[in-house]
C-alpha cells in the first residue's frame, strides 16, 4: 500500500563525503570531528542555503543535499570545492579534509523529509568515483548545465556502478579546473569564522527565498577583495518557459509550438541577467494542470512563461503571459500575429520579440524590487540596479549620482563586468548630453571602461554597445560598426544592442536601416530613452518622414522634459511641415535648454557632411540663426 506521506518529484541530488575520513579519525578523532562540524556549519550549510538547496541529512563524514535546479546544484558543488580549498590553505597537511562530490538528476521519493530511490543511489555511487576535491556528475546533470558555465567538463565515458543495473555516462570537474585560476587553489580570503562574526554586525541574514547577504556601506571595503555579485537566480530572476499549447486542432502542428518554446528558451538564455530553466527540465510538465507555485518550486523558477499557438489559414497567432510563480499573479501578457510565408522565419522572429520584451519586463521587476529595499542594505547587484534606474531620468544630477553608485559597485566587486559596462555608458551619456566640460575626455573614459568590461567578460553586450556608440562619436566608424555587429551577434533580442546598431547606422548615413532597427527595438521596449529617441527623430527628419518625427518627439519630449536636445529636431520637423508657430515655440524651448548651443557642432558625428548640412537647413527654417 502506498505511503500516504510520500510523494515524488524531480530533483538533483548532491552527495559529498570526506576523502580518507577513517584515516583522519584514527590519527585525531576529536580534532577531525570538530573540523568536520565546522566545515558543515560554516561552509556547507550557508552555500546550500544560498543556492536554494536542502540538506536532507548528514551521515558520518557525508552529507546528502536536494536541489530543485541542476544549475544551482552544480554552482553549490563548485563553491563547496573552492571553499574547502581556501579553508585548507593554512591547515597542516595531515589535518586537511577534502570533499568528493557526486551529482545526479532524476525522480525521487520524498517521505518524512527524507529522500529515497534510484537517483539517490546513483549520486552516492558517483561520489565514490570522484577524486579528492573534484566533482563527478551524470549526463542528466551535464545536459542541464553544459551551456551555463565556462567550466571544463571532461567526459569520462560510461561507467558501471555497484548495484545499478545500467551503465551511467559521467563527466568530471577536477580540482585544478575548480580553482580560481584553473591550476591552483583560490587565493586565501578571510577565514569564514571571522567573516561570520563580521557579518553578524554588517549584514542582514535571511530574506524570502534563501539566505542572501547584503553589504552595508561599512562593509564595502571589507568585501572588495572577495565579494561576488549575486547570480540572477539568487536575485530572483529565474524563469521557466513552459511548453506552449497548440490550439490549432491539428496534432501535426505540435512541432511549431514545441519549436517556439525551445527558441524562446534559447533566446532568453542570452540575457545574462536571467537564469533560464532548460527546455528538457520543463518537458515533464507538458499538459499538466498544476498550480504555478508547485511548478515554480519543482523547477526552482520564480517566474513562469506560458502561451498558446493558433494557426488560422496562412496566419499564426501566438499569445504569451508572464506569471509570478510564488503567488500566481499575471505580470505581463501580449499577442503576436504573423504571416506564415516561412514557418521557421516566423518562429524565429516571434521568439526574438517575445524574449526581448520578456527580458525587459523581468529586468524592470528586478529594479522595482531593488528600489523597495533600504538604501543602507545593498549589495553590488542591487546598487547597480539603482544606478540603472537613475538613468531613466536623464538629468545632470541623476547622471552624477549613478556615476558615484557605479564607482562604488566597481570597488565592491572589482571583477564585475557589468559595473564597468554601466559606468562606461554613464560617461558616454555625460559627454553626449552636454553635461561635461571635457566631453572628449569622458568619451575616452567610456571606451577604456567598456574595454575593461570586455576583458573581464568578452560577451558583455552592453560593453560592446557602448564601444559602438563611443567609437562612432570619435569618427572611428569601422570600429563602431564592428562593435555593433558583435553586440547583435551576442544577443539579437537585446534592445541595447539594437539601439547601438541603429545609432551607428544613422551616423554612417544608412538612414533606412537605422529606422528599421530602432523601430524593431521599440516593439520590444517602448522606453528606448532620450538618446535613441533623438537618433530616430533625426533619421525621420532626414528621411522626410516629418509627421512621424513630430509624433515621436512630441511624446518623448513630454516624457523627458529636461533632456536638452529633443526640441531641436522637433522644431525642424515642424518647420518642414509648415507649422511655423510650433517651430518657433520648440526653438525657444531649445534655446532655453541650450543657451550655448553651437549649430556647427550639432550633427557633427555624421560621416557624410551633407547629412549635417541638411539638418542645419531644417533648423534654419525653424528660426535658428
The pLDDT value recorded for residue 621 is: 93
The mean pLDDT value of the chain amounts to 80
The pLDDT value recorded for residue 467 is: 95
Provide the H-helix boundaries in 6-117. Answer: 21-27, 29-39, 45-50, 70-88
| Total-model pTM | 0.52
Residue with cell 563527478: 136
Confidence of residue 377 (pLDDT cuts 50, 70, 90): very low
Confidence of residue 297 (pLDDT cuts 50, 70, 90): confident
Q: Which residues of 542-576 are buried (b: 16+ CB within 10 A; e: fewer)?
A: beebbebbbebbbebbeebeebbbbbbbbbbbbbb
Q: Same topology for domains 415-528 and 537-625, yes or no?
A: yes
Q: Write the DSSP string, 41-54.
A: IIIIHHHHHHTTEE
- pLDDT tens, position by position, 44-85: 988 898 888 999 988 778 899 999 899 999 999 999 998 898
Confidence of residue 584 (pLDDT cuts 50, 70, 90): very high
Which overall architecture, per CATH, does domain 537-625 show? Alpha Horseshoe (1.25)
- pLDDT tens, position by position, 199-235: 222 222 222 222 222 222 323 332 333 444 544 444 4
- pLDDT tens, position by position, 607-616: 999 999 999 9
Distance between CA atoms of residues 324 and 303, nearest Å = 5
CATH of 6-188, one of 3.40.50.20, 3.20.20.140, 1.10.150.530, 3.30.70.1230: 3.30.70.1230
Sequence-ordered list of residues with C-beta below 8 angstroms from that of 581, at least 6 positions apart, any chain = none
Q: Mean pLDDT highest for which of 55-59, 400-404, 412-416, 578-582?
A: 578-582
| CA dihedral of residues 571, 520, 423, 232 (deg, nearest 10) | 150
- pLDDT tens, position by position, 421-451: 999 999 998 888 878 778 889 999 999 999 9
Q: Which residues of 6-44 are buried (b: 16+ CB within 10 A; e: fewer)?
A: eeeebbbbbbbbbbeeeebbeeeeeebeebbeebeebbb
Distance between CA atoms of residues 338 and 346, nearest Å = 7
pLDDT higher than threshold 90 for residue 499: yes
All three cell numbers of 521, joined, read: 527595438
Contact 25, 64 (CB under 8 A): no
Contact 487, 468 (CB under 8 A): yes
CATH topology of domain 238-369: Rossmann fold (3.40.50)
The pLDDT value recorded for residue 257 is: 79
CATH topology of domain 415-528: 1.25.40
Which sequence spans correspond to the domains of the chain?
Answer: 6-188, 238-369, 415-528, 537-625
Q: Name the least confident of 55-64, 101-110, 384-393, 407-416.
A: 384-393
Mean pLDDT confidence for 10-27? 89
Distance between CA atoms of residues 488 and 493, nearest Å = 8
pLDDT higher than threshold 50 for residue 376: no
Residue with cell 523601430: 519
Higher model confidence: residue 252 or residue 250? Answer: 250
Amino acid at each position: 500500500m502506498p505511503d500516504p506521506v510520500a510523494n515524488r518529484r524531480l530533483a538533483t541530488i548532491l552527495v559529498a563525503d570526506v576523502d580518507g575520513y577513517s584515516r583522519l579519525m584514527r590519527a585525531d578523532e576529536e580534532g577531525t570531528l570538530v573540523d568536520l562540524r565546522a566545515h558543515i556549519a560554516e561552509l556547507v550549510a550557508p552555500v546550500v542555503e544560498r543556492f536554494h538547496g536542502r540538506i536532507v541529512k548528514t551521515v558520518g563524514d557525508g552529507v546528502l543535499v536536494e536541489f530543485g535546479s541542476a544549475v544551482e546544484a552544480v554552482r553549490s558543488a563548485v563553491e563547496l570545492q573552492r571553499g574547502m580549498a581556501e579553508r585548507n590553505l593554512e591547515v597542516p597537511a595531515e589535518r586537511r579534509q577534502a570533499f568528493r562530490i557526486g551529482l545526479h538528476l532524476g525522480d525521487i521519493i520524498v517521505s518524512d523529509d527524507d529522500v529515497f530511490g534510484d537517483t539517490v543511489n546513483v549520486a552516492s555511487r558517483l561520489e565514490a568515483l570522484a577524486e579528492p576535491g573534484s566533482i563527478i556528475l551524470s549526463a542528466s546533470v551535464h545536459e542541464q548545465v553544459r551551456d551555463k558555465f565556462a567550466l571544463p567538463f571532461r567526459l569520462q565515458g560510461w561507467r558501471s556502478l555497484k548495484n545499478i543495473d545500467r551503465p551511467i555516462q559521467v563527466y568530471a570537474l577536477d580540482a585544478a579546473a575548480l580553482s580560481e585560476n584553473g591550476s591552483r587553489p583560490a587565493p586565501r580570503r578571510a577565514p569564514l569564522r571571522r567573516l561570520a562574526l563580521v557579518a553578524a554586525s554588517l549584514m542582514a541574514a535571511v530574506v524570502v527565498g534563501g539566505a542572501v547577504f547584503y553589504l552595508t556601506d561599512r562593509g564595502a571595503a571589507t568585501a572588495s577583495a572577495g565579494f561576488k555579485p549575486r547570480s540572477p537566480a539568487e536575485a530572483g530572476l529565474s524563469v521557466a518557459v513552459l511548453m506552449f499549447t497548440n490550439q490549432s486542432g491539428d496534432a501535426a502542428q505540435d512541432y511549431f509550438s514545441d519549436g517556439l518554446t525551445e527558441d524562446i528558451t534559447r533566446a532568453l538564455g542570452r540575457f545574462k541577467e536571467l537564469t533560464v530553466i532548460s527546455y528538457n527540465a520543463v518537458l515533464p510538465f507538458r499538459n499538466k494542470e498544476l498550480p504555478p507555485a508547485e511548478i515554480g518550486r519543482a523547477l526552482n523558477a520564480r517566474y513562469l512563461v506560458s502561451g498558446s499557438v493558433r494557426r488560422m489559414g496562412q496566419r499564426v497567432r501566438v499569445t504569451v503571459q508572464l506569471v509570478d510563480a510564488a503567488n500566481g499573479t499575471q505580470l505581463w501578457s501580449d499577442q503576436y500575429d504573423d504571416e506564415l510565408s516561412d514557418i521557421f522565419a516566423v518562429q524565429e522572429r516571434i521568439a526574438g520579440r517575445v524574449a526581448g520584451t520578456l527580458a525587459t519586463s523581468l529586468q524592470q521587476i528586478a529594479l522595482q524590487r531593488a528600489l523597495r529595499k533600504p538604501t543602507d542594505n545593498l549589495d553590488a547587484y542591487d546598487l547597480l540596479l539603482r544606478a540603472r534606474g537613475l538613468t531613466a531620468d536623464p538629468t545632470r544630477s541623476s547622471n552624477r549620482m549613478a556615476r558615484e553608485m557605479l564607482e562604488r559597485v566597481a570597488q565592491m566587486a572589482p571583477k564585475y563586468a557589468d559595473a564597468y559596462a554601466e559606468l562606461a555608458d554613464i560617461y558616454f551619456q555625460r559627454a553626449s548630453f552636454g553635461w561635461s566640460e571635457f566631453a572628449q575626455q569622458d568619451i575616452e573614459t567610456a571606451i577604456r571602461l567598456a574595454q575593461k568590461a570586455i576583458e573581464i567578460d568578452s560577451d558583455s553586450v552592453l560593453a560592446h554597445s557602448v564601444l559602438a556608440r563611443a567609437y562612432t562619436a570619435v569618427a572611428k566608424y569601422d570600429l563602431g560598426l564592428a562593435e555593433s555587429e558583435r553586440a547583435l551577434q551576442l544577443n539579437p533580442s537585446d534592445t541595447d544592442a539594437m539601439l547601438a546598431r541603429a545609432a551607428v547606422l544613422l551616423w554612417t548615413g544608412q538612414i533606412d536601416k537605422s529606422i528599421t532597427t530602432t523601430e524593431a527595438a521599440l516593439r520590444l521596449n517602448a522606453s528606448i530613452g532620450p538618446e535613441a529617441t533623438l537618433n530616430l527623430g533625426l533619421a525621420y527628419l532626414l528621411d522626410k518622414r516629418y509627421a512621424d518625427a513630430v509624433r515621436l518627439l512630441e511624446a518623448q519630449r513630454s516624457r523627458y522634459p529636461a533632456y536638452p536636445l529633443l526640441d531641436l529636431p522637433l522644431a525642424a520637423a515642424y518647420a518642414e511641415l509648415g507649422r511655423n508657430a510650433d517651430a518657433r515655440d520648440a526653438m525657444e524651448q531649445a534655446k532655453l535648454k541650450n543657451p550655448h548651443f553651437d549649430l556647427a557642432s550639432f550633427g557633427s558625428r555624421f560621416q557624410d557632411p551633407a547629412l549635417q548640412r541638411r539638418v542645419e537647413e531644417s533648423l534654419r527654417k525653424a528660426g535658428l540663426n
